[in-house]
């Protein structure tokens, strides 16, 4: 990582800007339009102030706030005006951007989605949150898997959203598909601070990839999001750590080829390789069977915990949502 948070960019470096966006209050379509304009202005000002910036990342819920409203008039579409504005500003400033949207679903509850737009104003990655934060969130679980896209400076980028990052399988899947930089956007509040930090570090170390993660910050009068932008090295060390200050932009440089080299050269703790090549010192090529019962059961559609019948909360009624009928 180069000096001064990416101001002195190296030839192989990817400079990231993580925006601890002020938690917005969004109650009507006019608020969505206003917040869209604010996000675009942050892109412009940040790129002007830091010309080395390659990728700017906005948190989950930065466009819609934390109301959990599913009102159709507030929902976005990929061909809608909000996404068009994001494409335009990335093209205008020749910078990559990661954005959050609550996406209209004609067949059920909306999706909690994220997109990465390249410097030409094109969608390079489109993701729907696989693990909504139940029982609090009403969103339809994602159905697009975990895509990976080629990014600047030799990066291969994946995006996961908030609660997704608490499942080690999410980061492992992204890495298995080639990602050397994992973005995680969130709206988390302070009680999650410790879990947030250690899961971002573990996701990095367990897969020998960089993680770059950021939450909303500030209060909307009811909720207070925690900020906590952080970039982790592929060895799990935290390279830069933000505060809880709203609109602070955490910047730093990562070098994707160094993560690639670690994956190729490490013997000790090359965990993502060794997962599928157990005990290769004793067995040629290592054991490549699947010893994990939960994986086998999930594939067979039989995932059942020993305490399954004792789990008390299995739907969203505790948070005011009706029991789904399908």
Which residues are known catalytic residues?
60, 129, 162
Dist CA 111 CA 129 (whole Å): 7
Task: Report residue 28: phi and psi, to 5°.
Answer: -155, 170
CB 285 within 8 A of CB 276: no
Residues 219-228: b if buried by 16+ CB within 10 A, e if exposed: ebeeebbbbb
Cross-strand pairs, 183: 159, 212
- Give dist(CA 302, CA 313) in Å, integer: 20
Please measure the distance between the N-terminal and C-terminal CA atoms of the chain and give it in whole angstroms: 49
- How is residue 276 written in tokens? 């599928």
Strand partners, 211: 182, 232
- How many CA within 13 A on the CB side of residue 283? 9
In 3D, which of 65, 33, 57 has the Cα closest to residue 222? 65
Comparing C-alpha atoms, which of 268, 177, 194, 264 is closest to residue 228?
Answer: 194
User: What is the three-class DSSP state of 185?
Assistant: strand
């Amino acid at each position: 990582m180069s000096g001064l948070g990416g101001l002195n960019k190296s030839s192989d470096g990817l400079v990231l800007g993580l925006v601890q966006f002020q938690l917005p209050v969004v109650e009507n379509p006019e608020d969505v339009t206003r917040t869209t304009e604010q996000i675009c202005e942050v892109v412009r000002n940040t790129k002007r102030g830091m010309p080395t910036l390659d990728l700017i990342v906005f948190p989950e819920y930065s466009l819609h706030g934390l109301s959990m409203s599913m009102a159709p008039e507030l929902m976005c579409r990929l061909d809608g005006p909000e996404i068009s504005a994001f494409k335009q500003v990335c093209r205008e400033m020749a910078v990559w951007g990661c954005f959050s949207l609550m996406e209209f679903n004609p067949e059920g509850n909306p999706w909690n989605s994220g997109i990465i737009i390249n410097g030409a104003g094109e969608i390079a990655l489109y993701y729907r949150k696989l693990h909504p934060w139940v029982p609090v969130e009403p969103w339809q679980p994602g159905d697009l898997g975990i895509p990976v896209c080629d990014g600047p400076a030799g990066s291969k980028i994946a995006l996961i959203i908030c609660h997704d990052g608490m499942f080690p399988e999410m980061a492992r899947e992204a890495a298995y598909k080639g990602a050397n930089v994992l973005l995680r956007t969130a709206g988390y509040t302070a009680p999650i601070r410790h879990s947030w930090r250690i899961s971002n570090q573990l996701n990095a170390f367990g897969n020998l990839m960089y993680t770059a993660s950021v939450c909303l910050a500030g209060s909307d009068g009811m909720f207070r999001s925690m900020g906590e932008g952080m970039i982790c090295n592929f060895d799990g060390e935290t390279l830069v750590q933000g505060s809880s200050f709203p609109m602070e932009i955490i910047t730093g440089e990562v070098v994707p080829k160094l993560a690639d080299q670690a994956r190729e050269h490490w013997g000790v703790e090359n965990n993502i390789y060794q997962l599928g090549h157990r005990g290769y010192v004793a067995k040629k090529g290592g054991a490549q069977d699947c010893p994990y019962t939960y994986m086998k059961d999930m594939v067979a559609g039989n995932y059942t915990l020993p305490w399954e019948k004792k789990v008390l909360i299995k739907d969203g009624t505790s948070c005011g949502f009706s029991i789904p009928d399908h």
